Amino acid sequence: MRIETPRLLFNSACPGHSHGLANSSGTLGKYLMAQAGNVVAGRFGDLIRLYKAPPRHALSEEFYETDPQRGFARGFAIQTVGPLPIAFCKADGGGDGRVGLGHAPGDDGLQPLGDARRAREILPWKDNRVELADEKDRHGLPVAKVTFNLHDNDKKLIEFGKNKVMEVMWAAGAQQVVQESRFAHLVGASRMGQRPSTSVVDKFGRTHDIPNLFVCDGSIFPNAGVCQSWPDDPGAGRADSRLPDRPGGRDLVLQPPRSAGTADSLRSQPALHAFQGQSAHCMS
């Protein structure tokens, strides 16, 4: 959804919205973010069977806030994870000949391993973006072109977090520690903000340009945070509460079109929601 939402809005360009729906600011597609979640595994002397507990056993946000002494902005959380055995053994072991994280050929599969991940906050950068590519899908619509690079602040944060979690593993008594780079949880590219000149939607997910067009997914988040998946549902519920037929939705005034057959006719249609695979083309 984080990629398909801006793609949908770009592909819905029409008279009055020639650069895509809800894109008068030129911000649509920009400030794409991901979460750096490197996996660190440690081999211990005793069997741990980390898969026998809930997926996330413990979470620490000790290093979450900015510390100027570290030389970079923002921070990360540390969480233990417990993948089920099949998913655990399918994981890349870091490229040094292991099958799965720490699973050497001949092992019985019940590894004496601890597994921890860092959820790092990559900052919103304007050049990390979603655009339309020249290539088209089977429906003849341009597919998404994604540009994403790490900046110096991101690299410093990732390196510090990786070393800190490896330090935790050694301190916990690990006999061997390995790490694997990983990214997850895309957000941004339809960012939320108070100013229509620098954002796509308001605090309720309603687009600044078209009052009855809402975006209800993680693409509206202006920053990455620790875990972006959890707020998606309440964010959609918050947007839903602003619709005219919902409690609290009376402040939404749907303006009538100036004339039939124009881009403004969107304003007289039932509220549109941007969902993957659906079209939000202007009415003709």
Range of the domain at 79: 32-187
Instruction: Provide the domain count of the chain.
Output: 2
Range 127-147 burial, b when 16+ CB lie within 10 A, else e: ebbbbbeeeeeeeeeeebebe
Q: Which residues make Cβ contacts (< 8 Å) with residue 125, sequence separation at least 6?
A: 31, 149, 151
- Judge if 168 and 194 occupy the same domain: no
| 220 or 107, higher pLDDT | 220
Asked if residue 114 has pLDDT above 80, the reply is no
- Judge if 96 and 225 occupy the same domain: no
What pLDDT is attached to residue 133?
A: 97
Asked if 74 contacts 201 with a C-beta cutoff of 8 angstroms, the reply is no
**End-of-domain residue from the set 168, 187, 206:** 187
- Judge if 17 and 7 occupy the same domain: yes
- Judge if 192 and 175 occupy the same domain: no
- Judge if 121 and 151 occupy the same domain: yes
- Judge if 42 and 173 occupy the same domain: yes
Highest mean pLDDT among 17-26, 38-47, 218-227: 17-26
- Judge if 54 and 173 occupy the same domain: yes
What pLDDT is attached to residue 136?
A: 96
- Judge if 20 and 44 occupy the same domain: no
- Judge if 47 and 120 occupy the same domain: yes
Mean pLDDT of 54-77: 84
- Judge if 144 and 173 occupy the same domain: yes
Asked if residue 1 has pLDDT above 50, the reply is yes
What pLDDT is attached to residue 246?
A: 55
- Judge if 162 and 173 occupy the same domain: yes
| 184 or 145, higher pLDDT | 145
**End-of-domain residue from the set 160, 187, 214:** 187
- Judge if 221 and 134 occupy the same domain: no
What pLDDT is attached to residue 77?
A: 85
Question: What's the residue count for the chain?
Answer: 284
Asked if 27 contacts 177 with a C-beta cutoff of 8 angstroms, the reply is no
What pLDDT is attached to residue 273?
A: 41
**End-of-domain residue from the set 129, 153, 187:** 187
Structure confidence at residue 262 as a pLDDT band (50, 70, 90): very low
Asked if residue 154 has pLDDT above 50, the reply is yes
Rounded alpha-carbon distances, angstroms, from residue 146 to 61, 121, 137: 30, 19, 15
CA 242/CA 240 separation, integer angstroms: 5
